[in-house]
Amino acid sequence: MKIKELKAFKIEDSRGNPTIGIIVNNEKSSAPFGKSTGKFETPPYRDSLEWNVRALNYVKFNFEINSVSDLEKVEAHICNKFGLDAPKEFGANGLYALEAAILKALARSQKKELWQVIGPKISHPRIPIPVGNIIGGGMHSHGKNHPTFQEFLIIPKSRSISENCKIMKEMHKKLKKHLKSGRLNDEGAIETSLDEESILSLLSHFSGDIRIGLDIAASSFYRSGSYFYNKKALSREEQIGYVNSLIKRFNLFYIEDPLAEEDFSGFSGIFRDAGHLVVGDDLTATQIPRLKKAIANHSINALIIKPNQNGSILEILAIAELCRKNKIKMAVSHRSGETLDTFISDLAVGIQADLIKAGIETKWREAKLRRLIEIESSFAK
């Protein structure tokens, strides 16, 4: 396949903020934008969104692209054309949206599913289990009275993605009615003024078909060595003890970013066994060196993969391989500022991720889940 058409432009994400859209050979892709960003993420653009749009409308690719590995040619060409030492210097959003659009066009030219192009050696594909953000707090919520933790999560137990989506939607509806709240945050999660333990207690009463998780996003309330809640401040050791007490008290399956984003050794103190996941997001920021450090420190047994934290789909594939070799579970994730692009759904299947965080409500989240249902349905044919 040759790139005959390449057009870049600005679009709005789900929060109304500008981000980049790209068309390659009539196939469109776009990059999301996160509000809760780790300081180790790749910057989204080279100089600005406008710079990346101009650059992509200028550059030409005059070579064949026939497999996902040919993204090496794309990245080398970008480095050469713009005098970069590494392709990620082009900016994570610009590079990711470009490579995603190229792979979509390649899949269409080869009459394959996108996930098959991403993971050409997969013989027995599986659909990841959805992790649904059902009650929100932290930086994703509005107003003064909200929980400190960023996300209260439900993980359905069915093996079918269509059944899991049904379970999440029904529970979202039940909780909205129970909490008497019609307010949804940036990710479509229900807003409430309840505190952390009250929410977990509430979720535990609905836990027949689900397991419970948290995205604590501890870096967002960590300052000068302490973790600041609405009515208390905890030291590092107290934070570890508090999180471990919540895991045991509420049998939490999934704990994301329980400590600040540089505390590799602190993460290793969080309780885990075969039934509990300690998940790195801000800690690892979808970067290979940080994942290697987390593995060396026994910090995590699961990893968030946000493609636009990195930019290079080739590096995402390398991260997935490193996770498989070290028995690290993978969770491909959306961002708070989303678009209708469904690339992460095919990516999750293509790298055989264990989990996917794509939300529950709003059209931007539902698009990802519908794509997974489509993929599951194609397996049944």
> Which residue from 131, 193, 189 is spatially nearest to 165, judged by alpha carbons?
131
Distances (CA, A) of 206 to 162, 199, 212: 19, 11, 10
Instruction: Copy the structure tokens of residue 350.
Output: 């293509």
Choice among 28, 88, 104, 306 that is catalytic:
306
Partners of 302 in beta bridges: 279, 329
First to last CA, the chain: 28
Instruction: Copy the structure tokens of residue 168.
Output: 């999440």
Confirm whether 187 is a catalytic residue: yes
> Which residue from 280, 291, 288 is spatially nearest to 215, judged by alpha carbons?
280
Choice among 187, 191, 261, 376 that is catalytic:
187
CB under 8 Å to 83, separation ≥6 — which residues? Answer: none
CB 368 within 8 A of CB 341: no
Q: How many CA atoms lie within 13 A of 335 on its CB side?
A: 29
- Which active-site residues does the annotation give? 187, 306
